[in-house]
Structure formats: structure tokens, C-alpha cells
Amino acid sequence: MEEEKRTVRAVERALDVLLCFTSGHEWGLTEIAGRIGLHKSTVHRLLATLEDRGFVTRNMDTDKYRLGLSVLELSANLSRSDDPSVVLLPEMERLRDQLSETVSLYVRDRSERVRIQAVQSTQAIRRVATVGARLPLSVGASSKVLLAFAESGVRGFIMADPAWPSQLDRIAFVKQLDEISAAGYATSFEEREPGAAAVSAPIFNRSGKLVAALSVSGPSNRLTPDRMHEHAPAIIEAAHRMGTILG
């Protein structure tokens, strides 16, 4: 049963240390050690290495660690001209101007989804979406899109994951996915966050493979269920246009 691991333990641990900084911004050595369950001295050595290469720096006032400039340097090279999050930005802005609500772009990464791009509504009351956020695949309009239109097999694979919420009614959920698959879009109303609602449509590339979910989200008193269904055609069309932009 043992899956052979072809990875390097010390590196895994160092990367786990780095990933601590995805929540919260400053950590002490002991905090990190406690969080990933390693010895102080081990974490100390890993942090020294990360610091040497500029992936973390320490706040000399508090003596705590924070992300370093190498991360900035890397992220600058993350966005490439063939990257959906760059290519599709103008279309996202156009949709934002059309509907006056925040527009986000999600991709699936294993058993989660990641918001790879976002343009904010300009209204006083608006949904604020941060780029890079990692969210569960079990709730939210874009989650349902990413599952409903995924290649055959992944739906079952994801829902078999031990991390999948067991209290969720599977039968009803699958039924919902099939409905979404037929309708061509998904909605969510105060599903993940109270007071928020969203409509989402799939983006397919030229060969018909799902690459991302386009999502429009806002306060639930503006994005009522009726209003969301009114918006749906515009969103689907934008998603279709985006698909043709991609290779």
C-alpha cells in the first residue's frame, strides 16, 4: 500500500515552513516549529537556509520571520504573456464595467481552487477578492463549475478525497452538478460567506478542455437569485470570448 515517495524530506519541510506564510504574515521560530511539528533546531536550520537565499527575512524589531524579496522576484516571473491571468484581464475588466461587480478567475489545483486573477467592483459596497487565495472545492459557484465541467474522473477523484466534507449530501450534490452542466453556469447564494453571492461560468480552451471558472460576485442584496440569472447570459458570453483568446 505504501506509495513510494521520490521526494526529499528536508526540502519538503522547508517548503512547509514557507507555506506557513500563506496565513498570517509574521512567525516566530517556535511558532513555526509547533505548527508543523518539528524540532526548534531543525526549523532554525531551515529558516537559516531560506534566509540565506532571500526567501525569508527577519523583522529586526520583533525577531520574527517574514517573507523575503526572492518571493517577489519569483512572482514577477509568474505572470507570463501566455498566462490566462494576464491575457484575460482586459476581458475581465470589461465584464466588471458591464455588471459593476467584482470579477474573479479560478483554476482547480488538486482538491482546491485558487483565485488567479480578480478585478474589483468600484461600488462603495463590494465584494473584495484577493488574488492567490486558496479555497475549498466543495462550496461556491466557481467550485461547482470547476467540478461540473471537469474531465471525466476528476469529479469522483475529488469527492473521494478524505478532505471532502463528509456531512455533505453526495446524491444531492451530484444532482446539482448535473443541472449546472446542463444550464452552463452555476450560482451560489450565501453559500460560503454570509452576505455574498456569485455566478460562475466555465472557460474552455480551443480543444474543449476546462481551464478556469469565471465568476462574478457581490453582496447578496444586489445579486439576488433573480438578478443572477439575468446576468448569466452576459457572463457565459464573456467566458466564451475568453476561451477563444486562449490557445
Partner DNA sequence: TCCATTGTTTCACCCTATGAAACCCTGTTA
Partner DNA sequence: TAACAGGGTTTCATAGGGTGAAACAATGGA
Cross-strand pairs, 187: 199
Residue where the block lists cell 519538503: 12
Q: Which of positions 25-44 make contact with DNA (CB under 7 A)? A: 28-31, 38-42, 44
Is the separation of the CB atoms in 41 and 1 below 8 Å? Answer: no
Among 13, 35, 66, 227, binds DNA (CB under 7 A): 13
> Is residue 73 at the binding interface for a copy of itself, with CB under 8 A as the rule?
yes
Is the separation of the CB atoms in 55 and 66 below 8 Å? Answer: no
Cell representation of residue 229: 440569472
Among 1, 2, 3, 6, binds DNA (CB under 7 A): 6
Q: Name which of a copy of itself, DNA, none residue 16 binds, using a CB cut-off of 5 to 8 Å depending on partner kind.
A: a copy of itself
Q: Name which of a copy of itself, DNA, none residue 109 binds, using a CB cut-off of 5 to 8 Å depending on partner kind.
A: a copy of itself
Among 15, 86, 89, 183, binds a copy of itself (CB under 8 A): 15
Q: Name which of DNA, a copy of itself, none residue 154 binds, using a CB cut-off of 5 to 8 Å depending on partner kind.
A: none
**Residue 192 to residue 209: CA distance in whole angstroms:** 27
Q: Name which of DNA, a copy of itself, none residue 137 binds, using a CB cut-off of 5 to 8 Å depending on partner kind.
A: none
**Residue 122 to residue 102: CA distance in whole angstroms:** 8
**Residue 103 to residue 127: CA distance in whole angstroms:** 9
The 10 Å Cβ neighbour count of residue 228 is: 25
Residues near DNA (CB under 7 A): 4, 6-10, 13, 28-31, 38-42, 44-47, 63-64
